[in-house]
Amino acid sequence: MGELRAIISAGMPGSGKEEFLIATASLGLPNVRMGDVVRDEKRHQGLSSPTGEFAHRERELHGDDIWALRTIERLDDHPTIIDGCRSHAEVEAFRRILGEGLKVIALHSDPETRYLRLVTRGRDDAPSDHDDFHKRDEREMSWGLAKVIALADKMVVNDTTLEEYHRRCVETARTVIGD
């Protein structure tokens, strides 16, 4: 493998991506949240549509790798954690531009745990009920997120205490970094 350029964290909504960033902050790597890239672009365009719908529309208009291409614009020469990759096309775009120094870490939690997390965190994209939750999962999987998770270099299962999950995240990231 070449020199580490980026670590991509990927997982279904509510799987622990934000906590992965919190846990790995101690490693001193900068991070870019793809969700922030989406929200920033939505604000830039002056739109008020739901974030997921906006992201989907942009993929339809500009290609499945649009969010990877917009995220890459925010990277510098330091190894960076890229949070929230949603599709295999995005991973391929990162690989095409960043080369072999790219690792993917999948984050996993069971559906009921994820549903409860999404409802309680209170963001504008929180599901209104279980049906809405399943539709969101289906939409995200239609982008290729399941393939990203299945083909990840490493996986961290988020099925324990927050403290233990943080420990697992740091341990896994260190393994990828070669620390």
The C-alpha atoms of residue 130 and residue 39 are separated, in whole angstroms, by: 24
Domains of the chain: 6-177 (3.40.50.300)
| pLDDT computed for residue 175 by the predictor | 94
Furthest-apart CA pair in the chain: how many Å?
45
| pLDDT computed for residue 1 by the predictor | 45
Question: Has residue 155 got a pLDDT over 80?
Answer: yes
**11-66: pLDDT as tens digits:** 999 999 999 999 999 999 999 999 999 999 999 999 988 888 898 899 999 999 99
| pLDDT computed for residue 178 by the predictor | 83
Is residue 16 within 8 Å of 107, Cβ to Cβ? yes
Question: Has residue 158 got a pLDDT over 70?
Answer: yes
Pairing of strands 154-157, 102-108: parallel
| pLDDT computed for residue 162 by the predictor | 95
**109-150: pLDDT as tens digits:** 999 999 999 999 878 778 989 999 999 999 889 888 999 999
3-state secondary structure of 9: strand
- The full DSSP string for 45-95 is TT--S-HHHHHHHHHHHH-TTHHHHHHHTT--SS-EEEE----HHHHHHHH
| pLDDT computed for residue 92 by the predictor | 94
**90-116: pLDDT as tens digits:** 999 999 998 888 999 999 999 999 999
The C-alpha atoms of residue 132 and residue 138 are separated, in whole angstroms, by: 10
Position 108: which residue type?
H
| pLDDT computed for residue 20 by the predictor | 96
| pLDDT computed for residue 179 by the predictor | 52
